[in-house]
Amino acid sequence: MTARFYYSPRSCALASHIVLEHVGADFEAIRVDFQANQQRSAEYLAINAKGRVPALVTERGVITETPAILLYLAQTYPRSGVAPLDDPFALAELQAVNSWFCSTVHVAHAHGSRGARWADDASALQAMKAKVAQNMTDCYDWIERELLRGPWMMGKNFSVADPYLFTLTLWLMQNGVELARFPRVADHHQRMLALPAVQKIAPLHNL
């Protein structure tokens, strides 16, 4: 079965899209038009009731949430080496990074454009938006100083954490934070841009 992958350009789905290409998966990429509110259509909600991307339709069912899709791909394509599947501790370290990306960095960014998920008061929404650049800077200070082992996220080997960091770094720049402030992250970003998988899907994500 050819998997169906639902994405929106430059969303968190980009990380999974890169890995799908990198591991050579058999899949069809289907764009969900957020501008047309397609993620709330009955057709898409039947696929992902959360009304968000990414969603990966497999022969066994639908997988949602970036960390879950990334781990699924790593386990489905073990020869790709995109996760240390034979080392429980190293795999847990990788999962900790991706979980933090999902629960903290993504949320820090979302406070700017998705504040209505957490508050209704106009002043609260504005306060959250005003805090985004600082929160993202704080996250990236830690990534630059502690998390990014180099040259790849987890060290010498490319892993599913790298497309995730790449995606978040695109958002960092959208939040008005200068990438040059983080030279190690900037080097990682350029390294990602040179990957064949990234170059192949770049037009789909306006990279």
- What CATH number does residue 121 fall under? 1.20.1050.10
Residues 174 and 104 in one domain: yes
Cβ contact 107:101 at 8 Å = no
What's the whole-number average pLDDT of the chain?
Answer: 93
Residues 15 and 54 in one domain: yes
Convert the pLDDT of each residue in 160-180 to its tens digit: 999 999 999 999 988 889 999
Cβ contact 15:163 at 8 Å = yes
Q: Which domain holds residue 11?
A: 3-81+199-205
What is the C-alpha to C-alpha distance for residues 194 and 19, in angstroms, rounded to an integer? Answer: 14
| Res 115 pLDDT > 70 | no
Question: What pLDDT shows up at residue 176?
Answer: 87
- Mean pLDDT computed over 179-192: 98
Question: What pLDDT shows up at residue 121?
Answer: 72
What is the C-alpha to C-alpha distance for residues 203 and 184, in angstroms, rounded to an integer? Answer: 26
- Mean pLDDT computed over 63-78: 98
Q: Is 78 helix (H, G, I), strand (E, B) or coil?
A: helix
Residues 95 and 186 in one domain: yes
Residues 31 and 75 in one domain: yes
Q: Which long-range contacts (CB under 8 A, 24 or more apart) does 127-136 make?
A: 132/108, 132/175, 133/175, 133/176, 133/177, 135/108, 135/111, 136/105, 136/108, 136/109, 136/171, 136/172, 136/175, 136/177
Longest dimension (CA), the chain: 51
What is the C-alpha to C-alpha distance for residues 91 and 88, in angstroms, rounded to an integer? Answer: 5
Residues 98 and 191 in one domain: yes
Residues 125 and 177 in one domain: yes
Question: What pLDDT shows up at residue 175?
Answer: 87
Residues 120 and 147 in one domain: yes
Question: What pLDDT shows up at residue 109?
Answer: 81
- 91 — pLDDT class (breaks 50, 70, 90): very high
Residues 105 and 189 in one domain: yes
Q: In the chain, how many domains are there?
A: 2
Lowest-confidence region among 64-73, 104-113, 163-172:
104-113
What is the C-alpha to C-alpha distance for residues 3 and 1, in angstroms, rounded to an integer? Answer: 6
CB count within 10 Å of CB 87 equals 11
When mean pLDDT is compared over 64-68, 116-120, 121-125, the highest value belongs to 64-68
- Looking at residue 171, the DSSP 8-state letter turns out to be H
Residues 165 and 77 in one domain: no
Q: CATH number of the domain at 67, please.
A: 3.40.30.10
Cβ contact 74:83 at 8 Å = yes
| Res 112 pLDDT > 70 | no
Question: What pLDDT shows up at residue 130?
Answer: 74
Among 16, 100, 82, residue whose Cα is nearest residue 54: 16
In 49-195, where does DSSP find H-type helix? 66-76, 88-100, 106-113, 122-142, 161-174, 183-193
Q: Which residues pair with 64 in a beta bridge?
A: 55
Question: What pLDDT shows up at residue 119?
Answer: 59
Residues 93 and 142 in one domain: yes
- Mean pLDDT computed over 7-34: 97
